[in-house]
Amino acid sequence: TQTVSQSDAHVTVFEGDSVELRCNYSYGGSIYLSWYIQHHGHGLQFLLKYYSGNPVVQGVNGFEAEFSKSDSSFHLRKASVHWSDSAVYFCAVSATGGYKVVFGSGTRLLVSP
């Protein structure tokens, strides 16, 4: 069974700050890891994914994430946030060859001006 844990329900930073949103997963097999963003009143927007290769993956709007097998983590980072980055961020895991995607509980990021 795959599980995804996002330990921080809320993160507040100032515009221009760096931010890291944490994601830990539990699964023994080969998986895909993804991050999505959801602005209020909208559906989810895909940010980036990892399957293999370079553990640091680049996504849209300056986001990147780093996979760590030893820590079972896939944390999302941005060097300098903008107020428009305020949203809920979801980490997701899916097993290769499977059909279902399991989402974390989400982290609400608030960027203050």
Instruction: Catalog residues that contact other proteins under the rule CB under 8 A.
Output: 32-34, 36, 38, 41-46, 49, 51, 88, 90, 92-94, 98-103, 105-106
Query: In angstroms, what is the minimal distance from the CB of 15 to other proteins?
Result: 24
In degrees and rounded to multiples of 5, residue 61 shows phi and psi of 55, 35
34/86 with CB nearer other proteins: 34
- CA triple 62-33-21, angle to 5 deg: 50
21/33 with CB nearer other proteins: 33
